[in-house]
Amino acid sequence: MICVPVMAESSREAVRMMKRGFASAEMVELRLDRISCPSLPALMKVRKGSLLVTNRRREEGGFFEGSEKDRVNLLAQAVNLGAEYVDLEASTGKRWIGHLKSEIEGRGAVTRLVISHHDFQRTPSWNGLVKRLDACRAYGAYAVKIVTFAESVDDNLRLMRLIPRSLAQGQPIIAFCMGPLGRISRLLAPALGSFITYASLRKGAESAPGQFTVAEMREIMPLIGSNHFRPPRPFETGDSAPRRRVRSGAADTYLPRDVAARPSRNQEQ
């Protein structure tokens, strides 16, 4: 699923960008941390598809300058207004994550929580990545998001291994690398089962380094099969989700059947 990030400095500008975003993609991410005094009721009325609301903390690349209480309460307001998804960093901690989860449950769990982790400096070792995945999963969110900065092409391959690992555990995941050397991961991730890939409306409107535009993604994704993956539905997560065992080096990997059943390049020839 392509998601268009909206990083506007005013609610009026955000409305314009959201309309363009929904005309171009299935989902829009509304970055509240960039907007001065956001008018959430007015912004929520614009949505014509799935809306992901984020209020990114400064420690993970955001712009919000208020307290953690105020930051999380804006997300809680989005939940009460019916946002489909909200994104909150794992580094926020148990107290405020628990507060937001209570708000979600109080509204009948209509909104789905994404627990995220961002590393703008590097891509950790494999063991480090697994620890971050497990830490995010421990909060019991609908999806986890692990994003790192690629210092080499190998960093992409290491991070991409998290996707089948997470899916095998019944956990929807968003994972890719930022930066010029991480661009390839933004194309590979959807093909492997990453549930969202982010793309900007135009050049110069990127919310993170290495982002493609929506037009570029629409052109490239069909060529590598990325537009054929259907992310797991909520009732397909967990032990009941259909899996197929796939040999991958020294370890076995379990992939969703619609990914694992695809023919290899040799088989296609």
| CA within 13 Å, CB half, 231 | 17
How far apart are the C-alpha atoms of 136 and 178, rounded to whole Å? 19
Catalytic residue positions? 118, 145
- 222: which 2 tokens? 């069909």
Residue 139: what are its φ and ψ, rounded to 5°? -85, -5
Cα dihedral 182, 186, 192, 197 sign: positive
Residue 111 host element (H or E): none
- CA-nearest of 164, 135, 162, 166 to 147 is 162
- 244: which 2 tokens? 């197929």
How far apart are the C-alpha atoms of 141 and 66, rounded to whole Å? 25
Residue 148 forms beta bridges with which residues? 119, 177
